Amino acid sequence: MWDVETVRVVGDVTIEDGVTVTIMPGVLVEFEDYYRLEIAGTLLALGTPGALIRFTTDDPQDFRIDQSHAGCWNGIRFHNTSAANAPSRLAHCIIEYSKATGGGTGPYPYGGGALSAVDCSKLTIEHCIIRNNVADYGGAMFLYRNASPRILDNLIVENHALQNAAAIYCAYSYPKLVNNTIVGNRIHNENNPYIESCAALSFISKPVFSNNIIRENDPDTVYMHSQLWNNKDHYTHYNNIEDYKTSGGNIDADPLFVAPGSGDYHLGTGSPCIDAADNTAVPEDITTDIDGDSRFVDDPDTEDTGHGDPPIVDMGADEYQPPECPADFDGDGDVDTADLLHLLGAWGTPAGDVDDDGDTDTSDLLALLAAWGECP
């Protein structure tokens, strides 16, 4: 059991076959160089919403989006993990500043900036933030050869692929991706511009995509680009996917995040992702969102467009929590300057609508000023 404030990793670490290691909430796992955490047994990294487990480097200031191995570590690797072991689970973790750019130890050193799973099925990754990682293929994850993890309620943002698959590379595998927010990941393909680039690549695979938000995962050089490549329509339902067909419950619309420019990917008022997903796609053991809030919350001001009996689950990692007062856009319990700035920034759109008339205008500004102060 890792139950200390900081675990400093000074070499490659392997959890041996038949061994279970539990990492307790709030632990900082800090890698001192380009080292990896290899899982041949079972890893239980079980944080909580108020005490996240953080996997990171000791030198983030030296981290660069390139093939160098300075300022980074080498990720969490589930390679040929025996199914005789108990399932591994990562919950409420941050995984950041890791690279897989070749030159490392183990198979497939070029795949999965944060995490790779090869011939591993008993793995759940839920309620995690996966950010600022780099790989040749699969900026966040590399899933290969019968890898079928459950990937639920995660924020996957600002990861980078130097070749392809900005977020997830999936080959010969069957993962289930439900209620993830996959946005702002990048492909740096200047040296190989004529490729069919994508956010999530599927090759002879059947990934299930349900209730996700997948948008703005773009290449530096656009040739033939799509958010999903070679996915199966039959397994792709009730997502918000940029430039994807709007059938099977899928939509293509601005999700109206609260403040994506500053890293706030909560759903804002009026988001088309609210009450728009599929209840039946959510596993029974998932009852909360990435923040620990209830996973099924009805917004009385939003028409149910999803599937199932109300309350209908939202798309993405965040479940919208209707504010106690409509002008409290950031949900901090009072109406103040931050809410005013949000309203002004949303002028003419539904994102700052206080009076439920469908847009943000002078009447909304007056309603906000009248509600100034602590929410009742």
Name the least confident of 11-20, 184-193, 222-231, 349-358: 349-358
Could you give the CA distance from residue 197 to residue 164 in angstroms, rounded to a whole number? Answer: 6
Whether residue 322 is preceded by a cis peptide bond, meaning omega within 30 degrees of 0, is no
Give the SS3 label for residue 362: helix
Is the pLDDT at 350 greater than 90? The verdict is no
Mean pLDDT of 112-131: 97
37: tokens are: 């955490």
pLDDT tens digits, one per residue of 157-215: 999 999 999 999 999 999 999 999 999 999 999 888 888 999 999 999 999 999 999 99
Is the pLDDT at 124 greater than 90? The verdict is yes
Amino acid identity for residue 112 in this structure? G
> Which pLDDT score is estimated for 151?
98
pLDDT tens digits, one per residue of 228-257: 999 999 999 999 999 999 999 999 999 999
pLDDT tens digits, one per residue of 276-324: 999 999 999 999 999 999 999 999 889 999 999 999 999 999 999 987 7
Is the pLDDT at 107 greater than 90? The verdict is no
> Which pLDDT score is estimated for 326?
84
179: tokens are: 């209620």
Mean pLDDT of 89-115: 92
CA distances from 233 to 183, 202, 228, 257, 289 (A): 20, 12, 10, 26, 26
Is the pLDDT at 13 greater than 90? The verdict is yes
Write down the residue that tokens 């009447």 correspond to. 363
CA dihedral sign, ordered 93, 314, 226, 146: positive
pLDDT tens digits, one per residue of 82-100: 999 999 999 999 999 999 9
By C-alpha distance, which of 190, 203, 59 is closest to 142?
A: 203
* pTM of the predicted structure, to 2 decimals: 0.88
Is the pLDDT at 372 greater than 80? The verdict is yes
Is the pLDDT at 126 greater than 80? The verdict is yes
Q: Beta strands 334-335 and 373-374: pairing type?
A: antiparallel
Is the pLDDT at 144 greater than 90? The verdict is yes
> Which pLDDT score is estimated for 161?
97
Kindly report the average pLDDT of the chain as a whole number: 95
How is residue 62 annotated by DSSP? Answer: G
